[in-house]
Amino acid sequence: DIQMTQSPSSLSASVGDRVTITCRASQDIANFLAWFQQKPGEAPKSLIYAASYLQSGVPSKFSGSGFATNFTLTISGLQPEDFGTYYCQQYNSYAITFGQGTRLDIK
Amino acid sequence: QVQLVQSGAEVKKPGASVKVSCKASGYTFTGYYIHWMRQAPGQGLEWIGRLNPKTGGTDYAPRSQGRVTMTRDASINTAYMELSSLRSDDTAVYYCARLDMTSGWHWGPGTLVTVSS
């Protein structure tokens, strides 16, 4: 299986900040990488697919980049509603795998 | 628009089976794989497997192999995930999801399955 490693595992930031979460794949996955946001008690919400494409309806404050094994999710102009846990996911192989998650708290 | 509607919460005893449904609308059901994921309480996301609604073909995660069966009824645009020989560590929220390579992922709302004696 392809292993996905996210960092940091948690972070705390202030309203208005810009934050970056990284995700590393154990092997080349091209751009078959998605990012999700999840809040307690809710289903994951899709943010980014194909590493850098914004899912319909997702605000442009979210952006993704990367290729092969190194990827980043950047959130600009942090707002209180952006708290939650963020997951990366590779779908290059049929055996889909997720990162362990990054918990984002708002100070 | 794309919608995935899942069946309601279930409570099962260890050793029993559970079958969760996922009814699709807003797109051609047979055109896209249906994936199943799960999330145990306080834990991360785990991929269970995928179903090709057109052919009925399946691919399962090694950890799920032998206990999971994915099927569909294309006449009612519904996919099913059945898990047998339930254990307490199968307690989780089970999600169905669809991937469109040109527009990304769409998820169902999830179905809580509780395994308890």
Q: In this predicted model, what pLDDT tens digit does every residue of B67-113 receive, in sequence order?
A: 999 999 999 999 999 999 999 999 999 999 999 999 999 999 999 99
- Name every chain B residue with its beta carbon within 8 A of the beta carbon of A101: 44-45
Q: How far is A35 from chain B (nearest CA, A)?
A: 10
Q: Ramachandran region of residue A68, left (φ > 0), alpha (ψ -120 to 50) or beta?
A: left
**Which residues between 25 and 44 in chain A have a beta carbon less than 8 angstroms from any beta carbon of chain B?**
34, 36, 43-44
The mean per-residue pLDDT over the stretch A50-62 comes to 97
Q: Judge whether A53 is closer than 8 Å to chain B, CB to CB.
A: yes
- Say how far residue B65 (Cα) sits from the centre of its chain: 14
Nearest to A98 among B44, B99, B101 (CB): B44
Nearest to B107 among A43, A49, A98 (CB): A43
A94 band by pLDDT with thresholds 50, 70 and 90? confident
Q: Is the pLDDT of residue A106 over 90?
A: no
The mean per-residue pLDDT over the stretch A60-71 comes to 98
Tell me the backbone φ, ψ of residue B74, rounded to 5 degrees. -65, -20
Residue contact A46–B44, C-beta within 8 A: no
Which residues are CB-neighbours of B70 under 8 A, at least 6 positions away? B34, B36, B49, B50, B51, B58, B60, B79, B80, B81, B82
The mean per-residue pLDDT over the stretch A67-75 comes to 98
CA-to-CA dists, residue A68 to A14, A29, A51, A89, B41, angstroms = 31, 5, 10, 13, 32
Q: Count CA atoms closer than 13 A to A64's CA, side-chain side.
A: 26
Q: Judge whether B82 is closer than 8 Å to chain A, CB to CB.
A: no
Output helix, strand, coil percentages for chain B, rounded to the nearest 5: 10, 50, 40
Q: pLDDT tens digits, residue range B107-117?
A: 999 999 999 99
**One-letter-per-residue 3-state SS of A1-29:** CCCEEEECCEEEECCCCCEEEEEEECCCC
A11 band by pLDDT with thresholds 50, 70 and 90? very high
Q: Looking at residue A107, what is its pLDDT?
A: 84
Q: pLDDT tens digits, residue range B27-37?
A: 999 999 999 99
Q: Looking at residue A93, what is its pLDDT?
A: 85
